[in-house]
């Protein structure tokens, strides 16, 4: 049966992209092959010339990857998708494709640490300059745009402070200034179940599939979603020549498997996060809770408009120093001290010490990331047990 855009999210997360395979297997086979046999030299030549559709070599395409790419494109409402070896592979393959020496990026100042490092430090070595500003006030974008701006880049909610950026406003301002500007949104924290940035006017979506999309903590992967032409360039230039960051067929299989339960997992992540955020807010040892679901959280109204629910991520500050906070959370027993997010297990980390250690002390301050901040990726356990784990630690 052909799966179309009018089918519901759950139907698409299970069936979209699937192809009937020759042996009739229900699950997508893992095409664990680096290269593909041609019928003849002539056939091989036609494949290379783009005159025949056959597969050539897994860095250029593979049936296991194709299925999951089509599924993600369907869920995000995009024309096409490219799988990559990691979220950073997706980000670098797509940005290298969009940019040349002399171009400028405007990015929000609160980003995942390695994305920040790429934009703030690495691109600079190749003559690409990033201007950082607070895009939660879209007016700041107007002041930052120049004739050289090629890309506007942000996450929403931002890692790790969950700051909300209005996708429609930012894309509107960027495109009014220059329709050729590509607005990139990193949709990792939401997954397409909670938010579809292309529908709000963005041009390119990047994902770390390591997180909610796979959802089981056993894969590193990424995706780029956009129009056919840009994805073709990302494939044939960004990934093929510049980064080589190809996803393995086995990881494509695991992600496709994880995606079949994305909506169910996201609902539970969101419900659990809601309960834990409320518990933390009422605790005397807690000085601040960052959670977009609270009515007084800046950006709450925008979050309500552009997200289906408020997500599974929380950040929190306690009435303790950075070191005291670290010592306290070391005593958690059920929750795991680990980076990454979106897994079944509740993962707790200190961004200033771990995921955002690429920021200097001053940069952390400018981005609103306090040094004692703790980030919680709320898992799929029983909320009562997660709360009991924090309660035991905070009572000390």
Q: Which residues have a catalytic role annotated?
A: 59, 112, 186, 211
* Binding range to ligand LCS, per CB under 6 A, among 1-9, 20-28, 84-92, 162-170: 84-92
Query: Is 303 strand, coil or helix?
Result: helix
Contact 152, 106 (CB under 8 A): yes
CB atoms within 10 A of CB 241: 12
Which one of 104, 166, 186, 203 is in contact with ligand LCS (CB under 6 A)?
186
Q: Does 187 bind ligand LCS (CB under 6 A)?
A: no
CB of 244 to ligand LCS, least distance (A): 15
User: Number of residues in contact with ligand LCS, rule: CB under 6 A?
Assistant: 17
CB of 381 to ligand LCS, least distance (A): 19
Which one of 78, 157, 222, 249 is in contact with ligand LCS (CB under 6 A)?
222
d(CA 348, CA 184): 28
Task: Give the CA angle between residues 141, 143, 144 to the nearest 5°.
Answer: 65
Q: Does 86 bind ligand LCS (CB under 6 A)?
A: yes
> Concatenated DSSP letters for 174-195?
HHHH-TT-EEEEE-TTTHHHH-
CB of 155 to ligand LCS, least distance (A): 5
CA dist list (Å): 47 to 40, 42, 240, 384: 11, 9, 15, 56
CB atoms within 10 A of CB 267: 15
Q: Does 336 bind ligand LCS (CB under 6 A)?
A: no
Tell which phi-psi region holds residue 191, choosing left (phi > 0), alpha (psi between -120 and 50) or beta: left
* Binding range to ligand LCS, per CB under 6 A, among 59-67, 70-78, 140-148, 339-347: 339-347
CB of 119 to ligand LCS, least distance (A): 12
Q: Quick one: which H or E segment has residue 52?
A: none
**Helix 383-395 with 322-329: angle, nearest 10 deg:** 130
Residues numbered 300-319 forming contacts with ligand LCS, rule: CB under 6 A: none
Q: Which CB atom, from 118 or from 200, has the smaller least distance to ligand LCS?
A: 118
Q: How many CA atoms lie within 13 A of 381 on its CB side?
A: 17
Q: Does 104 bind ligand LCS (CB under 6 A)?
A: no
- Tokens 């049966």 correspond to 1
Q: Which CB atom, from 16 or from 83, has the smaller least distance to ligand LCS?
A: 83
Which one of 108, 155, 256, 263 is in contact with ligand LCS (CB under 6 A)?
155
Q: Which CB atom, from 55 or from 197, has the smaller least distance to ligand LCS?
A: 197
Q: Does 248 bind ligand LCS (CB under 6 A)?
A: no
Q: Which CB atom, from 55 or from 346, has the smaller least distance to ligand LCS?
A: 346
Which one of 14, 60, 328, 339 is in contact with ligand LCS (CB under 6 A)?
339
Contact 192, 182 (CB under 8 A): no
Q: Which CB atom, from 197 or from 222, has the smaller least distance to ligand LCS?
A: 222
Q: Which CB atom, from 16 or from 220, has the smaller least distance to ligand LCS?
A: 220
Q: Does 292 bind ligand LCS (CB under 6 A)?
A: no
- Tokens 């609103």 correspond to 368
Q: Does 165 bind ligand LCS (CB under 6 A)?
A: no
> Concatenated DSSP letters for 233-288?
HIIIIIIIIII--PPPHHHHHHHHHHHTTHHHHHHHHHHHHHHHHHHHHT-TTEEE
- Tokens 């855009």 correspond to 5
* Binding range to ligand LCS, per CB under 6 A, among 30-38, 64-72, 80-88, 272-280: 80-88
Q: Which CB atom, from 155 or from 389, has the smaller least distance to ligand LCS?
A: 155
d(CA 119, CA 97): 14
Nearest Cα residue to 67 out of 37, 98, 25: 25
Q: Which CB atom, from 175 or from 216, has the smaller least distance to ligand LCS?
A: 216
Q: One symbol per residue from 346 to 375: x for binding ligand LCS (CB under 6 A), - otherwise; what is it?
A: ---------x--------------------
d(CA 190, CA 308): 9
* Burial class, 282, CB count within 10 angstroms (exposed 0-12 / middle 13-18 / buried 19+): exposed
Q: Does 128 bind ligand LCS (CB under 6 A)?
A: no
Which one of 65, 75, 88, 185 is in contact with ligand LCS (CB under 6 A)?
88
Interface residues toward ligand LCS, by CB under 6 A = 86-88, 112, 115, 155, 159, 186, 188, 208, 210, 220, 222, 339-341, 355
């Amino acid at each position: 049966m052909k799966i179309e855009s009018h089918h519901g999210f759950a139907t698409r997360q299970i069936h979209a992209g699937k192809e009937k395979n020759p042996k009739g297997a229900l699950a997508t086979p893992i095409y664990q092959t680096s290269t593909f046999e041609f019928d003849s030299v002539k056939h091989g030549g036609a494949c290379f010339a783009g005159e025949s559709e056959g597969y050539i070599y897994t860095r250029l395409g593979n049936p296991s990857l194709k299925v999951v790419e089509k599924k993600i494109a369907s869920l995000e409402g995009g024309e096409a998708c490219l799988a990559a070896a990691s979220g950073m592979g997706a980000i670098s393959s797509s940005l290298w494709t969009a940019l040349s020496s002399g171009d400028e990026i405007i990015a929000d100042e609160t980003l995942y640490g390695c994305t920040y490092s790429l934009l703030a430090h690495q691109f600079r070595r190749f003559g690409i300059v990033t201007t950082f500003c607070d895009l939660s006030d879209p007016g700041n974008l107007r002041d930052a745009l120049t004739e050289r701006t090629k890309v506007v880049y942000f996450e929403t909610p931002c890692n790790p402070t969950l700051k909300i950026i209005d996708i429609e406003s930012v894309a509107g301002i960027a495109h009014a200034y220059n329709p050729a500007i590509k607005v990139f949104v990193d949709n990792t924290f939401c997954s397409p179940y909670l938010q579809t940035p292309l529908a709000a006017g963005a041009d390119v979506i990047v994902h770390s599939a390591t997180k909610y999309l796979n959802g089981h903590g056993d894969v590193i992967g990424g995706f780029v979603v956009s129009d056919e032409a840009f994805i073709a360039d990302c494939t044939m230039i960004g990934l093929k020549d510049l980064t080589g960051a190809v996803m393995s067929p086995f990881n494509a299989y695991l992600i496709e498997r994880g995606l079949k339960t994305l909506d169910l997992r996201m609902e539970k992540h969101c419900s659990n996060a809601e309960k834990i955020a409320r518990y933390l807010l009422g605790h005397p040892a807690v000085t601040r809770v960052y959670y977009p679901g609270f009515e007084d959280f800046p950006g709450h109204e925008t979050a309500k408009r552009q997200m289906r629910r408020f997500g599974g991520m929380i950040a929190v500050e306690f009435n303790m120093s950075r070191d005291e906070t670290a010592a306290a959370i070391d005593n958690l027993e059920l929750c795991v001290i680990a980076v990454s997010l979106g897994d079944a297990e509740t993962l707790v980390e200190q961004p200033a010490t771990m995921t955002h250690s690429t920021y200097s002390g001053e940069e952390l301050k400018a981005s609103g990331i306090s040094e004692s901040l703790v980030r919680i990726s709320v898992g799929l356990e029983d909320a009562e047990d997660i709360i009991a784990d924090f309660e035991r630690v905070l009572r000390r």
